[in-house]
Amino acid sequence: MKVIVVGCGRVGSTLAGLLAAEGHDVQVVDRRGPAARRLPDSPRIRFHEGNGFSRAVLRAAGIEHADAFVAVTSGDNSNIVCARTAKETYRVPIVLARIYDPRRADIYRELGIPTIASVRWTVHQIHQMLLHRHLSPELSFGNGETLLVRSEVPDYLIGRRLTEFDVDGEIRVVEVTRAGRSLVPAHSTPARAGDLVTFAVAATALGRLRGFLDKELGT
C-alpha cells in the first residue's frame, strides 16, 4: 500500500514507522524540515518539506498513485484542507483526518471523511482503519475501543441467521438496512441479498470481522 502522511509529529512519525516496517511505502509531508529527524531510518519512508495541501508537494509525494492519505497536522483547518484536496481533487481511496475541535466533526462527516478526535487518537486505531478499508467506522465510543461499522452481507451468509456473525464481547449485529428500511434484527432474522449490516465491534476485533466478510473469497 502507498500511503501519504501529512504531519510528522509524534503520531505521524510513529504511524509512518509502523507502516514502513510492515512493507508499505510511506511518503511523509511536513512544513518543517527538522521534523524529518523523528522518522526512523527506512528505505520505505521518504520525507517532503512543504504544506500538505500544496499540489506541487503532493504530486512530488506521488498522490496520483496513493492508496491512502492521513492528515495528522496540529491544526484542524490544515487537516480539513489537506483531506479535501486528497479526496476531491485526487480521489484517494482512503482519506482519514485528525480533529481537535469536535464541533468541526460535522464538516468532515458531510465530506465523507472519517475522523478521530485528538483525545481518542491512537496509532493502533488509524492503523486498523487503513488496513480494513471496507470497514469504515460510522461512529466510535469512549477512547475508540468500540466502533460502529457497516458492510454489505456476504453471499455465503444469505439465508442464514445474522446472529451467526456475533462473537461474544467482540462483534454484534445491531441493525440491518433492507430495501431502504432500517430494522433491528431478531435472533432468527435471516440475511438477504443486498442487506447493509451495522456491526458494533471492538477495535481489536476488526481483523476477525474482516475475516468473516472475506471468507467466501478465501482471503
DSSP 127-155: HHHHHSTT--EEEEETTTTEEEEEEEPPG
* The listed CATH number (3.30.70.1450, 3.30.390.10, 3.20.20.80, 3.40.50.10800) that belongs to domain 147-217: 3.30.70.1450
Residue 193: Cβ-neighbour burial (10 angstroms; 0-12, 13-18, 19+): exposed
Q: Which of 104, 89, 92, 36 minimizes the C-alpha distance to 68?
A: 92
Report pTM: 0.61
**Grid coordinates representing 130?**
487503513
How far, CA to CA in Å, does 126 sit from each of 14, 66, 95, 202? 11, 17, 11, 14
Instruction: Report domain extents, the chain.
Output: 2-131, 147-217
CATH topology of domain 2-131: Rossmann fold (3.40.50)
At residue 30 the predicted structure's pLDDT band, cuts being 50, 70 and 90, is: very high
How far, CA to CA in Å, does 53 sit from each of 75, 92, 133, 174, 175? 13, 14, 23, 39, 38
| CB-CB contact of 105 with 99 (8 Å) | yes
Give 121's strand partners: none
| Chain segment 135-171, per-residue pLDDT in tens | 655 676 776 678 888 888 878 778 989 888 899 999 9
Q: Which of 41, 50, 51 minimizes the C-alpha distance to 16?
A: 41
- Percent over 90 (pLDDT), the chain: 47
Highest mean pLDDT among 129-133, 135-139, 187-191: 187-191
**Higher per-residue pLDDT: 177 or 143:** 177
> Residue type at 56?
A
Which pLDDT score is estimated for 38?
95
Q: Residue with C-alpha cell 483531506?
A: 83
| Chain segment 94-111, per-residue pLDDT in tens | 898 888 877 777 777 777
